[in-house]
Amino acid sequence: MLAAAGEEFAEYGIAGARVERIIAASRVNSALLYRYFGNKAGLFDTVFGEPAAEVVDAVPVTPEDLAEYAGALFDYHQAHPRVVRLGTWHRLERSTTQLPERIAAAQNEKVRKVATAQEAGLTTRALPAGELLALVVHLSLLGSDASPVPEPGTAPEPGTAPEVRRGAIVAAVRALTSA
């Protein structure tokens, strides 16, 4: 059921997702869905929390080299576009709800590590640690499903490969974070 729900939510968000399609794809009884998750939003929160936690484990922050952290996040986003889409839907439709505790704790720990790197002179102090980390994360999303779609005729030149985009992101973050 969670796999079917993940696909449905990634494609349509919470408002556009249909419980009927999730039930049909997973071949479970709708009563089971409501018993375990309460409602569609509860199911989304469960589906969102799992891959969000996986990112925390798969891509640990490297506060002494935020440029490479941005590159590693870019790589993860390229390999797991569904995670990016679920995160985008969460920001759009569930931004007033608390993040899962594990995700919030991991985010706080990342900010703490960046602040420590700033104090040690390993990265810029020009921005508060939380804002700096937010910029790095958002830059890592360039070229993903979460990026704005370019106007017709303004798409990158043919042959702009992901590795070129990754290199641009790493270079931009390196320039941004120079101590």
128 occurs within a structural domain: yes
Mean pLDDT of 48-52: 86
Task: Write the pLDDT tens digit of every residue in 14-25.
Answer: 999 999 999 999
- pLDDT one-digit tens code per residue, 86-118: 988 998 999 888 888 888 899 999 999 999 999
CA torsion 95-100-103-109 (nearest 10°) is: 100
Within a domain: 22: no
Instruction: For residues 104 and 110, give the distance between their C-alpha atoms in angstroms, rounded to a whole number.
Output: 10
27 phi and psi, to 5 degrees? 60, 45
User: 170-173 long-range CB contacts below 8 Å, 24 or more apart?
Assistant: 170/67, 170/68, 170/70, 170/71, 171/67, 172/139, 173/66, 173/67, 173/69, 173/70, 173/71, 173/136, 173/139, 173/140
User: Is residue 69 included in any domain, yes or no?
Assistant: yes
Q: Which of 60, 166, 172, 48 is nearest to 114 (CA)?
A: 60
Give the residue numbers spanning the domain of 143.
44-177
Q: Let me know how long the chain is.
A: 179
The Cα–Cα gap between 132 and 4 comes to 36
pLDDT at 157 over 90: no
Q: What is the mean pLDDT of residues 19-42?
A: 91
Q: Is residue 172 part of a domain?
A: yes
* Residue 84 located in a structural domain: yes
**CA–CA separation, 120 vs 99, rounded Å?**
30
For residues 24 and 85, what is the distance between their CA atoms, to the nearest angstrom? 22
Q: Are 146 and 87 in contact (CB under 8 A)?
A: yes
Q: Residue 160 sits in a domain of what CATH number?
A: 1.10.357.10
Number of domains in the chain: 1
List all residues 6 or more positions away from 169 whose beta carbon is below 8 Å from its beta carbon: 70, 71, 74, 139, 140, 142, 143
Q: Is residue 106 part of a domain?
A: yes
What pLDDT shows up at residue 52?
85
CB 59 within 8 A of CB 83: no
Predicted pLDDT of residue 97: 85
Is 12 part of any domain? no
Sequence-separated (6 or more) residues with CB below 8 Å from residue 17 = 5, 8, 9, 11, 40, 44
